[in-house]
Structures are given as C-alpha cells and as structure tokens.
Structure 1
Amino acid sequence: MKDDQRALLLGLCAVLLWSTAATAFKLALAELSVLQLLFVAVWVSAAALLGTLAWQGRLGLLWRELRAAPLGFLAMAALNPLLYYSVLLAAYDRLPAQQAQTINYTWAITLALLSIPVLGQRLGFRDWLAIVFGYLGVVIIATEGAPFSLAFSSGVGVTLALGSTVIWAVFWLLSARSKGDAAISLAAYFVCAAPISLVLCLLWGGGLPPSGGALASAVYVGLFEMGFTWLLWSTALRVASNVSRVGNLIFLSPMLSLVFIALILGEVIHPATLLGLALILPGIVVQQGRPAPEPPDKAPQ
C-alpha cells in the first residue's frame, strides 16, 4: 500500500543517518585500522540483515538463494562490501572527511561514463558538461581551491576516493541485471563477506579491534551505513507513490554531512569544498534524470 507521508518520513530518517556516516568513519579510523573497521561493520550489518529476514520469516529464502548460486554471491560480495569499503575507508584514512565524502558523490558521474561501454548508452552535450564540471569540482576540492597547482593534500587518498566510485558503479551495473529480491541479495553479500573480513582483519588488519569508543563507531557504521538504514531507504522507495520525490531527498545528504563533520569532527569546511560540491551536485542531478536500470537502493558516502 502506498503511503507518501510514511515514505517521506522513512526517507528523511535514512538521509539523516547516512549523513553521519563520514563522521563515524573518521571517528572509528582514529583508533582502528581499515580492515578492523571493515570487519566489525560487515559482521554487524550481516547480523542486522539476518535479524530482519528472520523477523520477516524469510531466512529460508536466503539459504535457498545462497545454495543456488554460491559463487555468484561470493563474487558480488568481493566487490561490495569487501573491495568497495576497503578502498573507500582507505580514502577516508588519508583525506579530510569533507574531501573524501564529497569526492565519493561523483559515483553517479562515473556510472554515466561506464554506461557507454557497458550499456551502449550515448551521452548528450548536457551529460558531458555535467561530467566536466563534476570532475573539475573534484580537482578544486582535492587541491583546496588551487586547481592549476594540482597539489593534492593526498594524491593516494584522492585516487582511492575516485577508485571507490568505479567499484560502486561496476557493482551497480551488475546488480541492476539481477532479478532477485534486493534485500535477500544484500544479506547474501554480507553473509559471504563476513568470514572473509575476519580473515583479512586477523592477517593484515592488526588483529581483533580493541573495545572503546572507536569500536562503538564501527558498530554504528555497520548498522547505519551498511545495514539498517538501507532497509529504511528501500522501504521508503517501495511505499512511495512518486519514487523520484523520495529519491531527491538524497541531495540533502552531502550538506548535512558537512554540518556533522564541522560540528563533531571539528573540521573547518574549506570554501573549496562548497564550490566543488556546487559543481558536482548538478552532474548528479543530470545523471539521476537519465533512463537506466533500477539501481541498488544505496546512497553514496
């Protein structure tokens, strides 16, 4: 049953929670390694998704799907959450939160570029203009307002942040071809990723994470970046009579995120970040208006 008021409330809650993700990443990474944070967040998210499916009485469907195509789910899990979040968190570990989160919002522009060889789509003048301005925004943000100097605060961090957009876009394109239940598929990815994340953490992440505030931030990431919030957003889209009206709420996220970054992390928001974001957002709007396969219900961080 469609319920626009409920859809709007759920959508706003999801956007608010996603807006805190960049801050939670940095708080956790202050004491945890990238692989320790990945391990905790993946396991918490897997537990949250399994708990939701159990409450819905659909765990049996998940096990049937996993038995039917274990290698397919394992391959997708390697892309997301394992590779995507490893690269994204490594970018956050090297960059100010305001830079990493804003650059990551170019994933929609990256998707437009990949749709040319993968989907055979043609881009018009407006699309190319949006792409040029979007990546100009990235350069302005990464050089803190001195684009012609090409002096990045962290060249590796910027490369990782841009690389995460490529990984997410590839995952998007592959997921768009799936005809299965989105919630079941997402739970399967995290179930497959969980034991691998433990092995990675033990071998190369410095061992199991210590208790404390950073661990609490990692649990928060697992619940409100990877797990529970996705369910809120998915439900909001499902019960909305006008999906685009709810979908457009996501454009509140980058500005809200900057507010949390400033208030909680104490980062001084550089004018270049705001200018770069002003160049990136129109490109996202243009790409959102393009016809394409239905994407996974996820907001970029």
Structure 2
Amino acid sequence: MTQQQTASIFGLLAVLAWSTVATAFKISLAYLSPAQLVLYASSASLISLLSILMVQSRLKELWPALQKNWRISLLFGAINPFAYYLILFKAYSLLPAQEAQAINYTWALTMALLAVPFLKQALKRSDIFAAVFCYFGVLIIGTRGDVLQLSFSNVGGVVLALISTLLWAIYWIFNTKDQREPVLGLTLNFAISLPLSLSWCALTGELGAIAWQGLAGAAYIGAFEMGFTFVLWLMAMKLTNSTAKIANLIFLAPFVSLFLIWSILGEAIFPSTVLGLLLILLGLLIQKLPVRMK
C-alpha cells in the first residue's frame, strides 16, 4: 500500500466517523441536556487523547506544556470544546438533525470571511459569490423553502447554528498562530475546559444522575467527533502528497450523514434541506476558485 493510499484510508475513516455524529448528537440529546453532553463528551475525548499520548509515550510532556502554555490553552479550551459545543448542541436540540448539520457546513466560508479582518488576507471575488450561495442555502434550510415569507422553522436554532460556525472558524483562525504540537495542544484544551463545563453544569443544576444511554452516546461523541477522529485526519493530512485530495473527501460527509439521519433517526428528509445543502456545497466549491477581487 502506498503512502497516498494510506492517507486516503485515514481520511475516509475520519469522514465516515464525522458523518455519524449528527445522528449521535440527536440520540444523546434525548437523554442529556446540551451542557451535560458537553461535560461527558469532553471527558471521553480527554480520555481518548490521553490514551493516544500514552501509546506515544508522551504523557510526561503534558505538565511542562501546561505550565508553559496555560493561557493559550485556557483561551482555546473556552472556545472549543466549551462554548462551541454548548451552542452547537443547543442548536441540535432545537432543530432537526438534517438542518443543523447542513448549516454547520458553512463554517469553512465563515473562516474565509473572518480571515480578512483577523489575518489581513485579501477578499476574493469567489468568497463573495460563495457567501451568496451558502447563506441562501441556509435561508432555504431555515425556512424549509418558504423564503419569500421568511417563515423560519426555529429562528433560535438557526441563529445558534450560525453562531457555532462563527466560533469554530475563530478557533481555527487562532490555531494558525498556535505553536503547540497539535495532539498535545488539543489534549490541553480539553483538560483545561473540563472545569468550565463542570462549573456550568453545577450552576445550572445539571449534575444529577444520567441514563446509561446518554453516557454511551457522550462517550461515542467524545471519541469520534472530538478526539480520535481528529488524530486520524491529522495523520491523513501528514501522509498525503495532495492536500486537496484529502480535503475534498469532506464533501462526502453531509450525504452520508443525511442517509444515517433518515435511516436511524427516521427523519423525513425535506427537499429544502437537500436543495439548501447543495447550494452550500456549491458555495464551498466556488470558494476554491483562484479569482481575486480587484
């Protein structure tokens, strides 16, 4: 097996795992509040990341890295996983899984737009056209096709889903300045965010007993959405000789996810969701066009 084939397998496994999380979110949220899901999924993710570092014989690096980087770890941990997933899970609790996951795919466009003020990058004409397609797709999804009447199925859910893309984009923009080793840095983020999640649950009275189904769902999400799958993706990007080949695999995820939402959750897939998702993906493809705005 060639190095590129190995990279493709790692990338495909990561994409397939990420395709399951929208379904896992909705199942878990039937037993847990968004705050509880953040707490227990973050704990599961931290365990999986610590296991990876243990296999790599790198646990001894954690304490020195925390002493050196506790401020940036606190900043990143407050954004992701704490604030990002708290808002994302709340959006999923308010919206059908198909709508929340489709809107969430606009984060790549949000990141490109925020890179203009944050990273002083030039705005491309393709970014403007991409924004038109992506956010019109969000409008179609949020109104379930009733665009002219602007009759949103759940305004709060749509707004929260869009805010989550904003936080995710800001997190990755900040990551461009992060000098920490990725797996070690991610482990510190989750470790230092746990007191935040625990405090939030304590303040809101959400530290009671939970059903085993919720705990199992949180463990799955922690491993496959927040932790181990991220490492698979990093390995794929490290081994590939073509970043574009691996990055383009992510376009498979929303369609696999829709199939799982239909087959496991039993959600009837709205035509507006499919149309809106296609517009979002078209916008993301347009974003790749190398046309500069004059």
TM-score (normalizing by structure 1): 0.93
SS at match of 1:57: coil
Q: What is the rounded CA distance, in whole Å, between the counterparts of 2:179 and 2:195 in structure 1?
A: 26
Q: What is the rounded CA distance, in whole Å, between the counterparts of 1:75 and 1:274 in structure 2?
A: 36
The match for 2:223 is 223
Q: What is the rounded CA distance, in whole Å, between the counterparts of 1:160 and 1:265 in structure 2?
A: 22
Work out whether residues 115 and 121 of structure 2, in 8 Å CA contact, stay in contact via their aligned partners in 1. yes
Change (3 A) 1:126 1:282: same
Mapping for residues 90-101 of structure 1, pairs under 5 Å:
90-101=90-101
Mapping for residues 278-293 of structure 1, pairs under 5 Å:
278-288=278-288
Q: What is the rounded CA distance, in whole Å, between the counterparts of 2:189 and 2:26 in structure 1?
A: 25
Change (3 A) 1:46 1:22: same
Q: What is the rounded CA distance, in whole Å, between the counterparts of 2:214 and 2:263 in structure 1?
A: 18
What displacement does 1:212 show?
Answer: 2.3
Work out whether residues 32 and 209 of structure 1, in 8 Å CA contact, stay in contact via their aligned partners in 2. no
Q: What is the rounded CA distance, in whole Å, between the counterparts of 1:289 and 1:78 in structure 2?
A: 34
The match for 1:298 is none
Mapping for residues 109-188 of structure 1, pairs under 5 Å:
109-188=109-188
Deviation string, structure 1 residues 143-200 (Cα, Å, up to 9, x no partner): 0011111111110000000000111111111111112211111111001112221222
* Cα RMSD after superposing both structures: 1.7
Change (3 A) 1:199 1:238: same
Q: What is the rounded CA distance, in whole Å, between the counterparts of 1:201 and 1:149 in structure 2?
A: 39
Q: What is the rounded CA distance, in whole Å, between the counterparts of 2:31 and 2:284 in structure 1?
A: 33
What residue identity is the alignment partner of 2:104?
N
Mapping for residues 246-285 of structure 1, pairs under 5 Å:
246-285=246-285
Q: What is the rounded CA distance, in whole Å, between the counterparts of 1:226 and 1:210 in structure 2?
A: 21
Q: What is the rounded CA distance, in whole Å, between the counterparts of 1:244 and 1:59 in structure 2?
A: 33
What displacement does 1:243 show?
Answer: 1.8
What residue identity is the alignment partner of 1:163?
I
What displacement does 1:27 show?
Answer: 0.3
Work out whether residues 4 and 240 of structure 2, in 8 Å CA contact, stay in contact via their aligned partners in 1. yes
What residue identity is the alignment partner of 1:37?
L
What displacement does 1:125 show?
Answer: 2.5
What displacement does 1:202 show?
Answer: 2.6
What displacement does 1:290 show?
Answer: 6.7
Mapping for residues 228-247 of structure 1, pairs under 5 Å:
228-247=228-247
What displacement does 1:126 show?
Answer: 2.3
What residue identity is the alignment partner of 2:230?
W
Matched, 1:103 2:103: yes
The match for 1:295 is none
* Runs of 4+ in structure 1 over 6 Å off: none
SS at match of 2:31: coil
The match for 1:31 is 31
What residue identity is the alignment partner of 1:206?
E
Mapping for residues 64-103 of structure 1, pairs under 5 Å:
64-103=64-103
SS at match of 2:153: coil
Unaligned runs of 5+ in 1: 292-301
The match for 2:12 is 12
Work out whether residues 110 and 169 of structure 1, in 8 Å CA contact, stay in contact via their aligned partners in 2. yes
Unaligned runs of 5+ in 2: none
What displacement does 1:209 show?
Answer: 4.6
Q: What is the rounded CA distance, in whole Å, between the counterparts of 1:205 and 1:29 in structure 2?
A: 17
What residue identity is the alignment partner of 2:111?
L
Q: What is the rounded CA distance, in whole Å, between the counterparts of 1:197 and 1:209 in structure 2?
A: 16
Change (3 A) 1:209 1:148: farther
